[in-house]
A = this chain, B = another copy of it.
Amino acid sequence: MLQLRHSIALMLFAGLCLFPSVSTAQDTSAQVVNTLWVLMAGALVFLMQAGFAMLETGMVRAKNAVNVMMKNYIDLCIGTLLFWLVGYGLMFGDNPSGYFGTTLFGLSSAPDWDYTLIFFQIMFAATAATIVSGAMAERTNYIAYLIGTCGITAFIYPVFGSWAWNDQGWLKQMGFIDFAGSTVVHSVGGWCALAAIILLGPRLGRFSEKGEARSVPGHNLSFIAIGGFLLWFGWFGFNGGSTLAAGANVGHILLNTHMAGAAGAIGAIVLCVLTRQPILLTSTVNGSIAGLVAITAGCASMQVPYAILTGAIGGGLSVLGVMLLEKMRLDDVVGAVSVHGICGMWGTLAAGLFLSGNMYNPQQIMVQLAGIGAAFVWVFASAFLMYFMISVVFGLRVSSMHEQRGLDITEHGEIGYPEFGQYAMYKNENLKQLSKLS
């Protein structure tokens, strides 16, 4: 009897101590820390929008600065709403066929963790969409561009995502490795951009009559560098948050990410030297971004030296890719096809080649190639069809006159820097003069 009372007391004591401990330790530590990490990572991915906006705007002429900023701002807004409404369900909903999800559209009442996940995934969808805007810059019909964004965030991106990242997706089932989206996000954006620029054609004056490429310098190189830093910063969330859980392994992931970014810039510089090209700021910044794109697939499953190698080759490829596109007389204003498309492809392959503990495994490499090929076929074909239809219905390209005047005035009725540059002639005029302009 005494013992029983004792035991009961002990149980109560244990219960008092344990229950708060267990509930705090499990709810707080595991789930809450996961939540906060993924949310903070998602916020960093959001900031990549600012990075892309600065990078792309810096690379265009001042007469198109407002247009690029508006495209980046609005594709985020449209992408957010549409991906919540349609894309998330297509990508992560129940996916019996392996080809697209069928539930979770317009998520409203859900467990807390689902809100966290969709917040993070919205940022990824917006990244895929915004990759396209730079490539198409300086000559695209604004409305046509926005309709394309709708197609990418609501359909093209999530469908491929459901193959590779949905647990029931056919590529995922095959063992396809693309940790944070070298293919799923970056190549998808890159191939959409490729389809668009083939249909658009190059900017006026970008190639001479003889087909020689002529450089069209961007209007603000400082913006390009700051944009690069912001993208790099955001990438720590992009790759670090893709664990979708807090873990001690995030240190390895972020170190790999950072080393690959640094190696990418160096790789691009080496290629510039080898091909006797000047080492431009744009090539250097793009090289680091290419390194980051390349490590995105394998950052969680590669030793540090291989991460450096992956990044360096990515940086080099970004330079070669730009040369290749110029040879093909394709005009990619910011190098997006090369940096995101080609280097995303390379990174996905590298994730298979340099898989820690299982390197150069032919079967894994075949799976990686299958994923890379599937991405190209699906995305390029569907994006080409989409932009072709947009082209027929709305017109994809602005008129030559509008292109020459700049899209800021013709598409938006605004000027990015009304007191500087070609508008500086108005500088000594009074307000009345300025108001006539607007």
Which of these, B69, B280, B428, contacts A422 with CB under 8 Å?
Answer: B428
- State how many angstroms separate the Cβ of A114 from the closest Cβ of chain B: 8
| A147: B residues at CB distance < 8 A | none
Q: Is there an interface contact between B40 and A77, defined as CB atoms closer than 8 Å?
A: no
1/0 contact string of A15-41 vs chain B (CB within 8 Å): 001101110111111111101111110
Q: Is the CB of B18 within 8 A of A50?
A: no
> Closest B-chain residue to A213, C-beta based?
B435
Tell me if A47 counts as interface (CB < 8 A to partner B).
yes
Q: A6-B4, A53-B226, A424-B421 are in contact. Are A109 and B303 (CB under 8 A)?
A: yes
CB <8 Å contact, A216 and B6: no
Given the known A-B contacts A119-B258, A122-B258, are A35 and B66 also in contact in the complex, defined by CB atoms under 8 Å?
no
A217 at the binding interface (Cβ < 8 Å): yes
Q: Interface-forming stretch among A189-197, A341-349, A408-416?
A: A408-416
A198 to chain B, nearest CB (A): 22
Decide yes or no: A69 and B215 within 8 Å by CB, A10-B7, A13-B14, A233-B46 being known contacts.
no
Size range of the chain A interface in the assembly: 35 or more
A interface, over-half SS: helix
Known: A22-B21, A430-B205. A215 touches B435 (CB 8 A): yes
Distance in angstroms between the alpha carbons of A22 and B26 in the assembled complex? 10
Give per-residue flags for A296-330: 1 if the beta carbon is below 8 A from chain B beta carbons, else 0: 00000001110010000000000000000000000
Interface with B: A165-173, A176-184, A244-252, A384-392, which one? A244-252
Proximity string of chain A (232-259) to chain B, C-beta cutoff 8 Å, 1 when within and 0 when not: 1100110010000011111110110011
In the assembled complex, which residues on chain B have CB atoms less than 8 Å from the CB atom of A24? 25-26, 29-30
The chain B residue with its CB closest to the CB of A252 is B115
- Tell me, in angstroms, the Cα distance from A280 to B223 when the chains sit together: 22
